Amino acid sequence: TFCGQYDAANSTSLRYTLLADEWGDDGSGEQCMTADDSSTSFNATWSWSGNRTEVHSFPSVILNSELFPLSISNLSSLTLNASWSIYPGDSFTAETDGANLATIDTVADVALDMFLDDDGDQAGNASIASTEIMIWQAAYGNLQPLGWDTVSDDPPVVELAGVNYTLFQGNNANGQAVFSWVPETNLSSIDTDLYPLMSYLLDGGYIPDSIYLGRMQFGSETMHSSQNMTFMVDYLEMNI
């Protein structure tokens, strides 16, 4: 168990690193994480009473791949196999109850987060990479992606494994271009090759074929809750 703002722990295989990533800690709450060294299962218990529109932390698992930085033109697969839940307190529940989360003003999402840049050396740095691509899996508390308020009446939609993902785009406070794929309904598990969503951005000219993928991680952006919340990942596997 660790509770430090930027604490991290490697899996036994060193393939993954668990990150606390409390980059938006404003002193209004706290977060602690517990992990299984031999796997990617973990839980993060958190509570933030401060600004409900700002991300306070992104408890997550990052993929350590010798392929990074990888030219996007050489990417042909982007698989995510995971199961997760979000629930009040620390008493495990197998399913996420969105209505229950709403009553305690929980604002959070679950997403695969990737960073890219024309400079391979910068692609792995989340602060300076030029481009961020998020593939959301769930969102609670009326959380909206960047660009939701300026999206056209007919935004791009891609169906993947029976789920319709809508594309939103905007710029964050760092000036990074952010592309967010948002599912039509909240998910609690996935076992899918998400490459078609990346391919759509490439083929549509949203991102150049000269760009490099340098960072890939899966977790939950935590923003607000009136009481302790737990984000639990039962299992997780990422591959490129």
Sorted by where each starts, the structural domains of the chain and their CATH numbers stand as 8-239 (2.60.120.180)
Query: Whole-prediction pTM value?
Result: 0.94
Backbone angles phi, psi at 3, to 5 degrees: -130, 5
Whether the predicted pLDDT of 199 surpasses 90: yes
Token representation of residue 202: 């490439």
Q: Report residue 92's pLDDT band, with 50, 70 and 90 as the boundaries.
A: low
- CA nearest neighbour of 231 among 23, 62, 85: 85
Cβ atoms 131, 122 nearer than 8 A: no
Cβ atoms 55, 223 nearer than 8 A: yes
Bridge partners, 81 (sequence order):
191, 237
pLDDT the model gives residue 147:
86
Q: Percent of the chain beyond pLDDT 90?
A: 72
Whether the predicted pLDDT of 149 surpasses 90: no
pLDDT the model gives residue 98:
74
pLDDT the model gives residue 223:
93
pLDDT the model gives residue 91:
62
pLDDT digits (tens, 9 = 90+) for 109-123: 999 999 999 999 999
